[in-house]
Amino acid sequence: MPAALTLDDLRRYAIARSLFTPTTLPAAIRRLGFVQADPIRAPARAQDLTLRHRVVDYRAGDLEARYPRLQIDEDCLVNYGFLPREHLALMHPREPKRPWDAETQRKADDVLAFVRERRAVHPREVELHFAHGRAKGPWGGTGNLATHLLDGLHYRGLLRVKRRDSGTRVYEAAAHPPADDSPNGRARRAAALIDLVVHKYAPLPAASLTYLVRLLGYGAPHLSAQTQAALRLAREQLASATLDGITWYWPADENPRSRRWAVDDQLRLLAPFDPIVWDRRRFTLFWGWTYKFEAYTPPAQRQFGYYALPMLWGERVIGWGNVKVHDTQLYVTLGYAGFAGAKDFAVQPALDEEVSKMQSFLISSELTGSAQARIAK
């Protein structure tokens, strides 16, 4: 009789399936299915911090530099990020929950015509040409109406990000292949979207699977009814097991107890949105402590730091690191979470190797070849 599945099996499986053998940039994005983006750079943007563990010789900024030549797009899924172009067909034509009023729609049509005429447009060009002024944004703040219109046209699939100039999106007109918008077509697209997020984040506790499907309302609000029906079907078709009262789900063609899911003994500083740590519910179940992203927490209330990077060593997340660059100097401040052997000599070689890799990763953007690292524990 085979041994029963354990939480240790699921933890190893989660790490190994996400930290696949480093490959090319296009192959890694295709394998991940989606890479979450974040504008904060501490010491690099989240997308770069995620890809550096999965792409051979990856350097900070490689994704932005190579983006115009790759078959990928910036767009929304469960949040904003980068995904293979073929996935866009699952979400477009996208129908926002709040349509524009007639006046805003007229202005948006004018902006779209302007972009089509110019072929590639920086938001500043739209602002100077139309002088629309400022408007209230979807999250309560105010900004240039030109920016809001461009964002809205992008969200609707009428524009795509052609490239970025110093971090600012430059747009071009977009055209998507016709989508099967019949009831069956929508059902197939909803099922494919659930399959996409399961393959990225598995194994998933039942509550996390439900939460992810709800977040698909960001990328495909017009498929909400279909995604709920697809979720019910997915629960029947995915592999699953119940441990300590919690049901876990993963792709039906994978076996968490297989020997293929081997975990190495490297130490890695992970992005706050890395697939391994993204699901905070699963994080706590796997490692017995709660990690928080505190960039928007008042400094006096922070426990981990402004942009703490979870520190994975083998199968354990033993703590976190805050990494800063100042005058070509790399500063690493570490914290530990209930790990008695944190300061043992066993950790140090793995930590030194990871810091060296971080230096190489940052060398093109922030550091020089003579940069040194200082580690505070």
Two structure tokens written together for 225: 């009814």
State how far the Cα of 249 lies from the Cα of 245, in Å rounded to an integer. Answer: 13
* Residue 364 located in a structural domain: yes
* Residue 107 located in a structural domain: yes
> CA torsion sign, 169 to 172 to 178 to 183?
positive
Phi and psi at 374, nearest 5°, equal -120, 125
- Bridging pattern class, strands 309-313 and 72-76: unpaired
Band the pLDDT of 139: cuts 50, 70, 90: very low
Query: CB neighbours (10 Å) of residue 38?
Result: 21
* Residue 158 located in a structural domain: yes
How confident is the model over 304-359, as pLDDT tens digits? 999 999 999 999 999 999 999 887 789 999 999 976 555 566 788 999 999 999 99
CB 61 within 8 A of CB 74: no
* Residue 345 located in a structural domain: yes
User: Residues of the chain with pLDDT > 90: what percent?
Assistant: 81
Average pLDDT, the chain: 91
How confident is the model over 267-298, as pLDDT tens digits? 999 999 999 999 999 999 999 999 999 999 99
* Residue 202 located in a structural domain: no
State how far the Cα of 123 lies from the Cα of 110, in Å rounded to an integer. Answer: 14
- pTM, two decimals, is 0.91
* Helix, strand, coil percentages, rounded to 5, for the chain: 40, 20, 40
User: Residues of the chain with pLDDT > 70: what percent?
Assistant: 91
Band the pLDDT of 368: cuts 50, 70, 90: very low
- The last residue of one of the domains, among 157, 173, 189, is 173
Specify the pLDDT at position 364.
Answer: 55
* Residue 302 located in a structural domain: yes
**CATH number for the domain harbouring residue 112:** 1.10.10
Residue-range definition of the domain harbouring residue 112: 102-173
- The last residue of one of the domains, among 130, 146, 173, is 173
* Residue 233 located in a structural domain: no
Choose among 143, 147, 142: nearest CA to 159.
147
Q: What is the chain's length?
A: 377
Choose among 351, 4, 9, 2: nearest CA to 203.
9
Two structure tokens written together for 117: 């005429």
User: What is the number of structural domains in the chain?
Assistant: 2
First to last CA, the chain: 47
* Residue 29 located in a structural domain: no
Judged against a pLDDT cut of 50, whether residue 131 lies above it is answered with: yes
- The last residue of one of the domains, among 146, 173, 200, is 173
Band the pLDDT of 178: cuts 50, 70, 90: confident
Band the pLDDT of 134: cuts 50, 70, 90: low
Close Cβ partners of 306 (under 8 Å, ≥ 6 residues apart): 42, 294, 295, 299, 322
Two structure tokens written together for 314: 């083998």
Which H or E run includes 244?
A: none
Which H or E run includes 5?
A: none
Specify the pLDDT at position 141.
Answer: 47
